[in-house]
Every structure is written in C-alpha cells, then in structure tokens.
Homo-oligomer: A and B are copies of this chain.
Amino acid sequence: MQNFELTILGCSSATPTSTRNPSAQLLNIAERFFLIDCGEATQIQLRKFKLKFQKINHIFISHLHGDHYLGLLGLVSSMHLLGRTVDLHIYCPPELVEIIEMQFKHSHTQLRFNIVYHPHRYINNDLIFEDKKVEVRTILLNHRIPCCGFLFTEKPLLANISKEVIKKYQIPVEQIMAIKSGADFIMDDGTVVPNQEMVSHHHQPRSYAYCSDTCYDENIVASIKGVNLLYHEATFMHDMLERAKETYHSTTLQAAAIAQKAEVHQLMIGHYSARYKNLQPLLAEAQSVFKNTILAMEGETVKIVS
C-alpha cells in the first residue's frame, strides 16, 4: 500500500513553549511531501527529525497568524542556500505573496528556483492541487481572519487483475484497462465474465483533513464526512469555552463533537494553549465524546489507515 503518513512538527498555539513549537505538519502521500502550515522554527524541526526538506514541493498555509507562517521565509531561504532549483508551490492567503516578496527584495535575494503562488480564493471544496495519485481541496474555516483548512485525498486506484485470470479467460491486452476500470469481459462464445470474478480491489481511497484554526462550526461537517483522519484544533479544555468563543478557537469537546458528527475514523487534536503542561486531560476530555482520539505530539508520525 502506498505511504500515507503524517508527521507533527509543531502542535502549540500562538505562543510556543519550551517543549512545543507552533503549527507545522509534514504529510507524505505516495512520496509527495506536503508541508501544512509553517510556524517559526519549522526548518529547525525538520532538521531535528531528520526530514529532508528539499523533497517538499508543496506548502499549504492556512492563514496569516504568525504561528502558522513565520517559519516560511527561513525555510525558503535555506532551500535556496542549499542549492534548490525545482519549483516550489505555495498555497496561501493572497497577502502572503507581498509579505514574502518584500522581504526578498530588501535582503537582495534572487532565488535560484521559482515560487509558484496559488492564492486562496476562499471557496469551499476548491480543488487546489491534483496529480494522478492525490487531490487537495480547501475547507473554509471560521476564524478571526480568513482561514482555509485542507482535505487531502488519495485518488481511487485501478483494480488489480492477476496473470492467472488473464490466462484463464484469454483476455486480450487491449481490454485489460477497461476491466481494471470495472468492465465485464465477453468471451468468444458470448459468455459474460462479471468484473468481480476477475479483479481484486485495493483499499478505499484514504483522506486527511486539516482544520486549524477554527471555532466550532458545523458547516465543515459535510466537507470532512468520513475522513480517515481529522486534525481539529483543540486550543482549550471545555471549561475555557468562553475564551474559545472570543478567540475563534475550539475546545476539546467541540473538536470531538465535530469528529462525531462527521463520522470520521480517527480524530487528532492539537494547537494546544501554552497553559497546558500536561496534555492527558485534554485527551481524556475529547475521548469522553469521541473515543478514537489521539494527541498531536511533535516528532511523532501517524499512519493514515483505511
């Protein structure tokens, strides 16, 4: 099965702590490396966890609060200094283009590679990346400033057909793709061989939804229905509900309620307030509503399973 795994680089909210960095995640789907948000010191985290950052060709920035993008310029500069030449695609709020380009202008930096900007259009379910194995769509979130989450989905794989089956029914080469795509096979004597007798199917396409930062908003449920892994911010425990509302963040119980309504397979919470030294109470509170919850923990990698 192709790789589909998520490594957490930062799981803190706005103010980092001595043990937690601001938001950043590295998602590997079939050896495509997607960086999701890029808080301060993301390049340092990538080095610390021995992740090769020149493999990152696509960076997704949710919004323009510093804890989600302030590491971007340093990372891009290091990519340049270490000799990168291949294009780097950045999916981001439109204003980030000016922020980056102004700083390169003042430092007299001429990159040896192109940055291809894909400014957010703030449309829900906007297809912003697609290749033969993966697609990425936006999830409109509800925060103090415009903010996009991201839904990463594997494309369905064609079914398998074994050599033995091909030999048994004498299937001509030119019909194999059709059968892999779902067609039946008609033999020379007119006998119809049903598709399901010939093929074996891969796993269901898997999906990962990144929802940070956002207040509790049931409007996102339709977009993330049934995903294999949902990352939903849980900045606060539920006793801080009023603070969560004021700041357009979510509580553990709210993240769990969204996971439950969306019937996701697994929930990961993160974006923890610096006030929480111990994260176990946050986990326990979320699990009281949605059992299959895990904590985002820096340096840990989670496999997304179907």
Contacts and interface: CB of A to CB of B under 8 A. Distances in A.
Interface string A65-103: 111001101100110011000000000010110110011
Interface stretch (A26-34, A37-45, A251-259): A37-45
Given A14-B77, A77-B14, A66 B21 contact: no
A95 B99 contact: no
A145 interface: yes
Nearest to A68: B107
B144 A108 contact: yes
B81 A74 contact: no
Interface string A48-80: 100000000000000011110011011001100
A132 interface: no
Given A18-B47, A40-B40, A99 B106 contact: yes
This chain's copy number in the assembly: 2
Given A47-B17, A81-B15, A64 B95 contact: no
Contact of A44 (B40, B78, B102, B107): B40
Contacts of A108: 144-145
A226 interface: no
A159 to B, nearest CB: 45
B41 A44 contact: yes
A16 interface: yes
Most B C-beta atoms less than 10 A away, residue of A77, A93, A96, A99: A77
Counting chain A residues whose Cβ lies within 8 A of the other chain, the interface size class is 35 or more
Contact of A74 (B44, B66, B98): B66
A92 B65 CA distance: 23
A106 B102 contact: no
A3 to B, nearest CB: 24
A16 B103 CA distance: 19
Contacts of A47: 16-18
A107 B145 CA distance: 7
A66 B43 CA distance: 13
A292 B55 CA distance: 44
Interface of A: 14-18, 21-22, 40-41, 43-44, 47-48, 64-67, 70-71, 73-74, 77-78, 81-82, 93, 95-96, 98-99, 102-103, 106-108, 144-145
Given A40-B71, A41-B44, A95-B106, 16 more contacts: A15-B77, A15-B78, A16-B47, A16-B78, A17-B47, A40-B41, A40-B44, A40-B74, A66-B107, A67-B77, A70-B73, A70-B74, A96-B106, A99-B103, A102-B102, A107-B145
Ordered nearest first, which 8 A-B pairs have the shortest CB separation?
A41-B41, A40-B74, A95-B106, A18-B47, A64-B106, A15-B78, A66-B77, A64-B107
